[in-house]
């Protein structure tokens, strides 16, 4: 889907950078490899996300060789594996839940910000990303030897967009950018439930 068609199918109610409209989560991936400098630029963007007390709790376990991706496959749900096995890069996002000073209450919030920075940089570079939680978190912890003081947040597929026709028929119908609720449905003013005028 071209960026012009995509932007025409998603309209912002207020002026924003078009990259926000271009970012969506397709499932059809080309098997084309992502050059290392391009891939690392996504994680560079994530690096600069804000975090409470500058804890930077996010970490990424990546799989970009066929052998490493196959290590991930046993913990991915059958539904997600059907499409994400073509993605040239898989990245498990985890977050450090504590440090020498005690718990990091904002670890998931901060790590979500890092994911957002990564996703937008990917869109700028002409890549697609698709986050998922349809996998066995405990199996992932076991297979990848993740310590207990790290939360497992999400798995993302990264790569170049493939053809819709390459997906199973049931998924082809879903291969369209989703819309969003209006801004005023996301906000309350002065207290919960108080509609923004």
For residue 86, pLDDT over 60 is answered with yes
Nearest to 118 by CA among 52, 15, 23, 37: 23
**CA gyration radius, the chain:** 18
Confidence band for 9, pLDDT divided at 50, 70 and 90: confident
Domain residue extents for the chain: 24-185
pLDDT (tens digit per residue) in 123-181: 999 999 999 999 999 999 999 999 999 999 999 999 999 999 898 888 888 899 899 88
Q: Which two tokens stand for residue 124?
A: 């700028």
H or E stretch covering 150: strand 150-159
Averaged pLDDT score across all residues of the chain: 93
Quote the pLDDT of residue 173.
Answer: 86
Print burial letters for 86-105: b (CB count within 10 Å at least 16), e (below 16): bbbbbbbbbbbbeeeeeebe
For residue 2, pLDDT over 60 is answered with no
Q: Between helices 36-47 and 107-124, what is the axis angle to 10°?
A: 140
**Which CATH number is associated with domain 24-185?**
3.40.109.10
The answer to whether 30 and 162 are in contact (CB under 8 A) is yes
For residue 5, pLDDT over 50 is answered with no
pTM for the whole thing? Answer: 0.91
Nearest to 144 by CA among 57, 60, 40, 44: 60
pLDDT (tens digit per residue) in 89-118: 999 999 999 999 999 999 999 999 999 999
Quote the pLDDT of residue 108.
Answer: 98
Q: Which residues contact 68 (CB under 8 A, 6 or more apart)?
A: 62
Lowest-confidence pick of 1-10, 23-32, 151-160, 170-179:
1-10
For residue 73, pLDDT over 80 is answered with yes
């Amino acid at each position: 889907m071209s960026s012009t068609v995509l932007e025409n199918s998603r309209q912002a109610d207020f002026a924003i950078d078009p990259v926000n409209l271009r970012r969506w989560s397709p499932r059809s991936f080309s098997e084309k490899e992502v050059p290392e400098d391009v891939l690392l630029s996504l994680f560079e963007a994530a690096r600069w996300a804000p975090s409470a007390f500058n804890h930077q709790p996010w970490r990424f376990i990546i799989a970009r060789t066929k052998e490493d991706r196959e290590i991930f496959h046993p913990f991915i749900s059958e539904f997600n594996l059907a499409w994400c096995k073509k993605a040239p890069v898989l990245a498990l996002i985890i977050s450090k839940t504590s440090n020498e000073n005690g718990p990091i209450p904002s670890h998931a919030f901060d790590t979500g910000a890092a994911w957002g920075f990564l996703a937008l940089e990917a869109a700028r570079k002409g890549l697609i990303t698709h986050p998922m939680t349809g996998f066995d978190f405990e199996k992932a912890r076991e297979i990848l030897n993740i310590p207990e003081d790290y939360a497992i947040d999400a798995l993302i597929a990264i790569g170049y967009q493939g053809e819709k026709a390459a997906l199973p028929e049931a998924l082809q119908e879903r291969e369209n950018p989703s819309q969003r609720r209006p801004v005023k449905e996301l906000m309350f003013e002065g207290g919960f439930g108080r509609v923004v005028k």
